[in-house]
């Protein structure tokens, strides 16, 4: 699936109508009909349905839904929230068809009348506002949306929950809290925005027959789904040896935080790395070795329990490096981190405290010739950009894209909808994972999986998207049977990797 902005959706629509010659009323018929079929699968004929229609094409979809339901023996009540003269074009055409099919339309005279309509219905179909919303809500939509949210009725939104913006940038809005949203043709960006996702409820896409060539190569944002993993994840060659699956180096840890590198190493081995070496402070090695028998060690000199600057590390024999987890934020450790990142001629993944050290001197990553992968969560992204977390929440797609382009790096912006960006500005949103992953250690495990993935035979962007998918899928499988979102630990996810790899082998 592509992920579109409102403007991109309008452009696709324009292409369909002007270049491919599709009539706009047919697109509206297809949209309304497809959504009506979904409504039929959710609602019984005996239930009362209230269709709320606005003045634009979203409202036009509402008339088609009402007509289709009426034709199938339902008795929908259509409540028009805009003046008659505001309804034009394809929406007016479908309004007239609904009337011709025997439908009647009621008009909201005063905002507070809405409670009477809501009390008399079981189901609300929200066809008030779609992607055409601009500015703050005008009456009566503000009051109607609040009233719908206050009553406990099954609420089904058309294309987008009314009031929710389609694009990035708007944090403050009043929107319908839908139970279901049937998104027309392609998910809009806000489906994947942390502050908007919940409004959509259970969402899915309905196709309305827009010509594929209208946008096949133009939209740079996509979802990463199971089918893509199936077609890109390399299988293990029967004649391979440990060297064929990558020799990875993990640099991090400290006396106070030995656990994180242990988790990264274990996850990396479970995700298919051939050999893993942990470079960490010498006093942490014996405790880590007990957790991770399969790893080898590179003891590092320390100062007050953290990695010190004054040492040479031979990084020449590794295929990829992960650096930063559990290393702390001491200045000395930072100097060494930047030296290693600048010197390494292989892919380097930078996480956690490593990101802090890099944020002090971003030219270190910009100047690198080999691939660089940064894996910040929203707080770390704000640090890298020297901005607020609120700004990252408001603009995750555009900030990630511009950062990747500017510094020539691969970026894995971690969150409920993790976004992988490449240096050309392409983006993929992961579709697995649950709230059980919002815990300490999750990032360390993900870094380990990604380290393994980037050492296998797959394109860098595929490796990163596959790694995120596998990490989330392991957590999803675990909360179905063995665990819950409350008790799930990062170490459970490492063990849970088996269930995911078995389905892809
Ligand atoms: N290919 C497509 O893109 C298709 C789109 N369709 C539908 O068309 C929708 C977009 O239609 P439109 O562009 O007409 O836009 P909308 O229907 O989303 O809304 C536009 C209307 O809302 C009003 N409005 C805007 N901001 C407001 C605010 N802050 N407060 C109160 N009223 C406000 C405007 O006066 C205008 O009448 C999509 O969301 C989708 O549901 C479908 O008909 C099928 C085809
Ligand atoms: K809507």
pLDDT tens-digit map of 482-500: 999 999 999 999 999 999 9
Q: What residues flank ligand 1, with Cβ below 6 Å?
A: 9, 13, 27-28, 31, 54-61, 86, 129-138, 141, 158-160, 184, 208, 210
Which atom, in ligand 1's list, is nearest to the CA of 12?
1
Specify binding-site residues.
57-61, 126, 130-136, 159, 162, 326, 377, 414-418, 443-444
What would the mean pLDDT of 464-479 be, rounded to a whole number? 97
Which of 27, 56, 91 has most ligand 1 atoms within 8 Å of CB, for mutation? 56
CA distance 68 to 36: 6
Q: Which residues are annotated as a binding site for K(+)?
A: 58, 126, 162
**Residues 363/429, Cβ–Cβ less than 8 Å:** no
CA-nearest residue for atom 29, ligand 1, is: 137
pLDDT of residue 114: 96
Q: Place 235 in a pLDDT band, splitting at 50, 70 and 90.
A: confident
Nearest Cα residue to atom 40 of ligand 1: 58
Strands of the 154-158 sheet, one edge to the other: 105-107, 77-80, 49-53, 123-127, 154-158, 180-184, 202-206
Residue 81's pLDDT band, with cuts at 50, 70 and 90, is very high
What is the average pLDDT score of the chain?
Answer: 96
Q: What is the DSSP string of 301-327?
A: -EETTEE-SS-----TT-SEEEE-TT-
Mutate to test the pocket of ligand 1, among 131, 137, 165 (most ligand atoms within 8 A of CB): 131
Q: Which of 16, 129, 166, 172 to mutate to test the pocket of ligand 1 (most atoms within 8 A of CB)?
A: 129
User: For residue 486, what are the CA distances in angstroms to 124, 417, 435, 436?
Assistant: 33, 19, 8, 6
Give the percent of the chain with pLDDT over 70: 99
Domain positions in the chain are 6-219, 241-504
Question: Which of the four pLDDT bands, split at 50, 70 and 90, describes residue 216?
Answer: low
Phi then psi dihedrals of residue 115, to 5 deg: -60, -35
Considering the chain, what percentage of its residues have pLDDT values greater than 90?
Answer: 94
The residues, ordered by sequence, that sit 6+ positions from 33 with a Cβ below 8 Å of its Cβ are: 64, 68
Two structure tokens written together for 230: 């199936």
Q: For residue 45, what pLDDT band results from cuts at 50, 70 and 90? A: very high
CATH superfamily of 6-219: YjeF N-terminal domain (3.40.50.10260)
Contact 265, 448 (CB under 8 A): yes
Geometric angle at alpha carbon 200, from 196 and 206, rounded to 5°: 125
Rounded to whole angstroms, the Cα distance separating 419 from 3 reads: 12
Phi, psi angle pair for 4, to nearest 5°: -120, 155
Distances (CA, A) of 458 to 124, 160, 217, 462, 505: 47, 36, 22, 6, 16
Residue 104 Cα to ligand 2 middle (Å) = 21
- Please count the other Cβ atoms lying within 10 Å of the Cβ belonging to residue 459: 12
With bands split at pLDDT 50, 70 and 90, how would you rate the model's confidence at 505?
confident
Residue 271 main-chain phi, psi, to 5 deg:
-90, 5
Antiparallel, parallel or unpaired: β 348-350 and 154-158? unpaired
**For the segment 422-443, what is each residue's pLDDT rounded down to a tens digit?**
999 999 999 999 999 999 999 9
Atom of ligand 1 minimally distant from the CA of 59: 17
CA of 30 from ligand 1 middle (Å) equals 16
Residues whose CB falls within 8 Å of the CB of residue 313, separated by 6 or more in sequence, listed in order: 251, 279, 298, 300, 336, 340
pTM of the model: 0.95
Mutate to test the pocket of ligand 1, among 28, 57, 186 (most ligand atoms within 8 A of CB): 57
- Binding-site entries for (6S)-NADPHX: 57-61, 130-136, 159, 326, 377, 444
pLDDT 10s digits, 103-119: 999 999 999 999 999 99
Average pLDDT over residues 320-329: 97
CA of 400 to the centre of ligand 2 (A): 28
Q: Which residues pair with 350 in a beta bridge?
A: 323, 374
Over residues 237-286, the pLDDT tens digits come to: 777 777 778 999 999 999 999 999 999 999 999 999 999 999 999 999 99
Task: Decide which of 2.60.120.200, 3.40.1190.20, 3.40.50.1220, 3.30.230.10 is the CATH code for 241-504.
Answer: 3.40.1190.20
CB 442 within 8 A of CB 403: no
Residue 214 has what pLDDT?
A: 73
CA-nearest residue, atom 11 of ligand 1: 57
Give the distance between the most distant pair of CA atoms in the chain.
Answer: 84
101 CA distance to ligand 1 middle (Å): 24
Partnered with residue 8 across adjacent β-strands are: none
Distance set, CA 379 to CA 211, 245, 290, 392, 397 (Å): 40, 33, 32, 8, 15
- Ligand lying closest to the C-alpha of residue 141: 1
Residue whose CA lies nearest to ligand 1 atom number 15 = 132
| 6-219 matches 241-504 in fold | no
Report pLDDT digits (tens) over 156-194: 999 999 999 999 999 999 999 999 999 999 999 999 999
263 DSSP β-pair partners: none
Distance 128 CA to ligand 1 centre (A): 8
């Amino acid at each position: 699936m592509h992920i579109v902005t409102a403007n991109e959706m309008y452009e696709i629509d324009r292409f369909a109508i002007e270049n491919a010659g599709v009539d706009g009323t047919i697109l509206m018929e297809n949209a309304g009909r497809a959504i009506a079929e979904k409504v039929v699968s959710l609602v019984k004929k005996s239930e009362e349905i209230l269709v709320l229609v606005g003045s634009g094409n979203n409202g036009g979809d509402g008339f088609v839904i009402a007509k289709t339901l009426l034709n199938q023996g339902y008795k929908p009540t259509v409540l028009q929230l805009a003046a008659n003269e505001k309804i034009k074009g394809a929406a007016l055409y479908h309004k007239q068809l609904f009337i011709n099919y025997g439908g009647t339309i009621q008009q909201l005279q005063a905002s507070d009348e809405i409670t009477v309509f809501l009390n008399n219905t079981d189901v609300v179909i929200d066809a008030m506002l779609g992607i055409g919303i601009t500015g703050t809500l005008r009456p009566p939509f503000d009051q109607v949306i609040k009233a719908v949210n206050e009553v406990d009725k099954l609420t089904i939104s058309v294309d987008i929950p009314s009031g929710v913006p389609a694009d990035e940038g708007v944090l403050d809005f009043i929107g319908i809290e839908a139970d279901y949203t049937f998104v027309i043709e392609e998910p809009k960006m806000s489906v994947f925005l942390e502050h908007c996702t919940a409004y959509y409820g259970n969402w899915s896409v309905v196709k309305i027959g827009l010509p594929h060539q209208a946008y096949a190569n133009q939209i740079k944002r996509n979802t990463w789904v199971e089918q893509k993993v199936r077609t890109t994840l390399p299988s293990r060659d029967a004649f391979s040896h440990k060297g064929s699956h990558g020799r990875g180096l993990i640099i991090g840890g400290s006396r106070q935080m030995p656990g994180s590198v242990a988790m990264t190493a274990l996850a990396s081995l479970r995700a298919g790395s051939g050999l893993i070496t942990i470079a960490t402070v010498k006093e942490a090695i014996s405790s880590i070795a007990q957790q991770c028998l399969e790893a080898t060690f590179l003891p590092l000199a320390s100062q007050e329990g953290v990695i010190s600057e004054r040492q040479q590390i031979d990084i020449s024999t590794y295929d990829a490096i992960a650096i930063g987890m559990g290393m702390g934020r001491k200045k000395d450790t930072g100097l060494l981190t930047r030296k290693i990142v600048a010197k390494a001629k292989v892919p380097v993944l930078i996480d956690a405290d490593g990101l802090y050290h890099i944020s002090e001197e971003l030219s270190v990553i910009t100047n690198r010739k080999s691939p660089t992968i940064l894996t910040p969560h929203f707080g770390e992204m704000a640090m890298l950009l020297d901005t607020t977390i609120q700004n990252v929440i408001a603009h995750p797609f555009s900030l990630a894209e511009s950062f990747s382009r500017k510094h020539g790096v691969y970026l894995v912006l971690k969150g409920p909808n993790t976004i992988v960006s490449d240096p050309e500005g392409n983006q993929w949103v992961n579709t697995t994972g649950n709230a059980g992953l919002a815990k300490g250690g999750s990032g360390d495990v993900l870094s380990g999986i990604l380290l393994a993935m980037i050492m296998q035979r797959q394109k860098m962007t595929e490796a990163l998207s596959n790694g995120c998918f596998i990490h989330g899928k392991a957590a999803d499988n675990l909360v179905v049977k063995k665990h819950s979102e409350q008790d799930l630990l990062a170490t459970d996810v490492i063990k849970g990797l088996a269930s995911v790899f078995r389905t892809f082998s």
